[in-house]
Amino acid sequence: MALTDHSDVFIGSTGDGWTFVVLNRRIRNGARILTGAGFTAREHQGRTLYLLPPETAQDAHERAGVAAYGLMAHTLDLVDLAWTTRQHGATPSREPDVTICFTDHAVTATAATDQAAAVLAQHGFTPAGAKRQYALPPGLGESDAVSAVVRAESHLYADGISVRIDLDIATPQDIPPAPSRPGAAPAPPLAPPVKRRSR
């Protein structure tokens, strides 16, 4: 599974500024809610993505907020780690106080202030080598890591500390494919090549 697959609804941002929504289960009127909020549906590697192109944080915040509000009438299992919808997160000229990065092997963070570092510590981040560098424990499962980041980001945001989440997804094309469904029939084996007799 990918980090986008652990909740009914995942809202995130690509490195190049697109806001995206992944629906991991069928949600009544989900497509209508998202397209009504201005998202465009696109088929991508076995799943439908809902995308907003790069725009101002205020516009993205409003559109994603309308979509999230509509979807929460059907599920509360929603994760929002989109930096593009945060007023402070979509301004490239200003460095956030905290940057949290997902990679294949770790979840790391940098904190510009002691206050930000203290919040990270409350949510399981520990010092990791260089000054102001932190990481979640390496044995933490992906679902637990996503939950820890959601809690940390919410706490930081509530305290007025700017934070940006880097999902390690550079463009919409890099959004992970849909997970394989358990119990799906295996693909039939390829037929062996037909040997032709030489004459």
Of 91, 146, 99, whose CA–CA distance to 124 is shortest?
Answer: 146
The mean pLDDT of 69-97, rounded to a whole number, is 82
User: pLDDT for 108-145, tens place per residue?
Assistant: 999 999 999 999 999 999 999 888 999 999 888 899 99
The mean pLDDT of 85-99, rounded to a whole number, is 71
CB proximity list for 121: less than 8 A, separation 6 or greater: 134
The mean pLDDT of 55-79, rounded to a whole number, is 91
User: pLDDT for 161-179, tens place per residue?
Assistant: 999 999 999 999 999 998 8
C-beta atoms surrounding 55 within 10 Å: 16
> Residue 101 has what pLDDT?
96
- Exposure letters 133-167 (e unless 16+ CB within 10 A, then b): ebbbeeebeeeebbbbbbebbeebeeeebbbbbbb
φ, ψ at 69 (rounded to 5°) = -60, -45
> Residue 67 has what pLDDT?
94
Token pair, residue 4, equals: 């986008």
Question: What's the chain's average pLDDT?
Answer: 87
> Residue 182 has what pLDDT?
54
Prediction pTM value = 0.84
Whether residue 88 has pLDDT greater than 80: no
Residues found in the chain: 199
